[in-house]
Structure 1
Amino acid sequence: MMLGFGSFLSPHVWAQILPQPEFGRIERLAHFPSQHVDARHVDVWLPENFDALKASGQRFNVIYMHDGQMLFDARTTWNKQAWHVDRTLTRLMRNAQLAPTLVVGVWNNDKFRHSEYFPQKYLQHMLPEPRTQLIQKGLQGKPQSDAYLRFLVQELKPAIDARYPTHTDAAHTAIMGSSMGGLISVYAMNEYPQVFGRAAGLSTHWIGGFEPNAHIPLAAYIYLRDHLADPRTHKLYQDHGTTELDALYAPYQVFIDQLARDRGYTDQGATPNFMTRVFTGTGHNERAWADRMETPVLFLLGQAPR
């Protein structure tokens, strides 16, 4: 089971292993350097007909995904599970439900995963004692999410846009993750709305740890009340299961959903910009997220079949 943080495959263990997707191919930007955070691998998935499409002048949607180690090949992950992103996107593109899309899988930073994925501006809304405990124990004494987002926006995205024929605008750029990766995805869209026009959090880890609590979700609520991206130009997806760690999420997600609706997000009408789902009987793991990845991808970037 993939927990909210920790227990991840070390980048040092699998640094030389390139995932082998069933469809398309991976190009690795190895040890991608940054002035803001530690270097890490970035695995870029290109669809099966990428070269022909590129030659024809096609431009591609981009989905930035966190926990890049876990996305493509279960043989190379710590728990022998993966999102199998290539399966879902290939099927959707073959069915003309999704325009040509590539995926940028950004590896997590192992022991600093929590400090890079926990939204830094939540901290200012926490009481001093729980804030200090979180920073010292959960964030390794070093909150890094704002630095991580600067890495994505100022360093990685320009490199991706220079190397590949992408649509560079926010409407064609999504960011997606699960658990803590869901937290940082929503945060990224709100901090950089001009860059990320769509965000998806699967099993979003609003509690921030392993126990139910009020202080972390309350800090998230205050931040989101004031900073949710403009619903006229953005789309937001949220979900959770009902078993394992996901069994804790329901009461927190209900309030997040109301905050989104108060901001003007809606799941009604011909052009909804908000979707929230509960997947009964599913837990907190890559198999569950792989099984339902189609839902957020189609909502955020899908197109009607021709």
Structure 2
Amino acid sequence: MKHRRWFPALFLCAAIGAVSASTLPHVSSGRLVRHNDVPAHGVPERTIDVWLPSTYDGKRQHDVLIMHDGDMLFDARLTWNNQEWQVDEVAGQLIDAGHVRPFIVVAVPNAGAARHAEYFPQQPFMSLTVDTQQALYDVQRDENVPLFAQPVYSDAYATYLVKDVLPYIEQHYAVNTAPSSRILAGSSMGGLISWYTLTRYPDSFGGAICMSTHWPGAMQPQHPAFDAFYTYLQAHLPTLKDKRLYFDYGDETIDAWYPPLQQRIDNLLQANDIPATQWTSRYFAGANHSEQAWAARLDVPLRWMFASAEASATR
């Protein structure tokens, strides 16, 4: 028997993708460049948008922020729910004011119907019992529309970011190539794939921004997937001691599920002596699970992750 679930629209934010993948989003700060020829091995092909701040002149090297759900970042007119992260406005203001080191944003669109399969951490998924895995595959996010359009393949997605996207970006743009200069970022399922990719390729990235991380993994407040995430993360903490981890969460709509789970993750980091300077966990009372909520606090993780030398000296 199929396990049918009817999910709030807020959880589906970013799952459907942009209204028109052929229309270049409008940005009010910096400029956006679209690339249709980025290699894609093992994952569905897609266009990649690169946001360049006003400081980018092709000579000065910039850091790199890779953001998942890239079709939801810049232009609310083109998104399924008429919301956006306001990345160009927020990042542009911070960079122009000298509050953060200059960085470019690599906006990687999700895989549409396959988003859940692409973002669900694969090794924790494989550690679940066969029955639990099948129960997840049986869940429907809409009538006759499965939550997982295909088997989980997030390992291939993480490899795609490292083996295809990063080399392409470094070939076409003046960017810092040190791992510490490359950061991953996403929300909800994008939060999961951000920290997971960091554990799969700790030598390729310096940190992960995980906003409203969907710790249940499933469409209910408690699920065995969380214990699988917890166990996997615990085993991989030694590889993260020199990385930077940002977590945050609200307490409205689906974010109401996250406080007790995020607290367990925070306790895990503390118990394993992850340096306090290397991670932070922020609670935003009254914040819900939406692009508007993430846009309203996006400056917080960007300031924390990309703090300029001048900004750090004044703290």
Given the two structures, how large is their TM-score scaled by the length of structure 1?
A: 0.92
Q: Given the superposition, is the C-alpha separation of residues 163 and 2 from structure 1 closer, same or farther in structure 2, using an over 3 Å criterion?
A: farther
Question: Alpha-carbon deviation of 1:303?
Answer: 1.6
Question: Alpha-carbon deviation of 1:167?
Answer: 0.5
Q: Quick check: 2:66–2:106 contact (8 Å CA) kept in 1?
A: yes
Q: Quick check: 1:179–1:205 contact (8 Å CA) kept in 2?
A: yes
Partner of residue 285 from structure 1, selected from 273, 284, 290: 290
Amino acid at match of 1:85: V
SS at match of 1:238: strand
CA–CA distance in 1 between the matches of 2:185 and 2:42? 21
SS at match of 1:298: helix
SS at match of 1:277: strand
Q: What residue in structure 1 maps to residue 81 of structure 2? A: 79
Q: What residue in structure 2 maps to residue 36 of structure 1? A: 42
Question: Alpha-carbon deviation of 1:231?
Answer: 4.4
Q: What residue in structure 1 maps to residue 101 of structure 2? A: 99
1:86-165, aligned counterparts within 5 Å?
A: 86-137=88-139, 138-165=147-174
CA–CA distance in 2 between the matches of 1:20 and 1:229? 42
SS at match of 1:305: helix
1:246-265, aligned counterparts within 5 Å?
A: 246-265=255-274
1:188 matched to 2:197? The reply is: yes
Answer with 118-127 or 106-115: which moved more.
118-127
CA–CA distance in 2 between the matches of 1:251 and 1:127? 24
Answer with 13-22 or 217-226: which moved more.
13-22
Given the two structures, how large is their TM-score scaled by the length of structure 2?
A: 0.89
Q: Quick check: 1:5–1:114 contact (8 Å CA) kept in 2?
A: no
Question: Alpha-carbon deviation of 1:7?
Answer: 6.6
Q: What residue in structure 2 maps to residue 16 of structure 1? A: 22
Q: What residue in structure 1 maps to residue 56 of structure 2? A: 50
Number of residue pairs the alignment of both structures matches: 297
Q: What residue in structure 1 maps to residue 306 of structure 2? A: 301
Query: What do you get for the CA RMSD once the two structures are aligned?
Result: 1.8
In percent, how many aligned pairs have the same letter?
Answer: 37
Q: Specify every segment of 5 or more residues in structure 2 that has no aligned partner in the other structure, as ranges.
A: 1-7, 140-146
CA–CA distance in 2 between the matches of 1:235 and 1:283? 25
SS at match of 1:280: coil
CA–CA distance in 2 between the matches of 1:68 and 1:104? 8
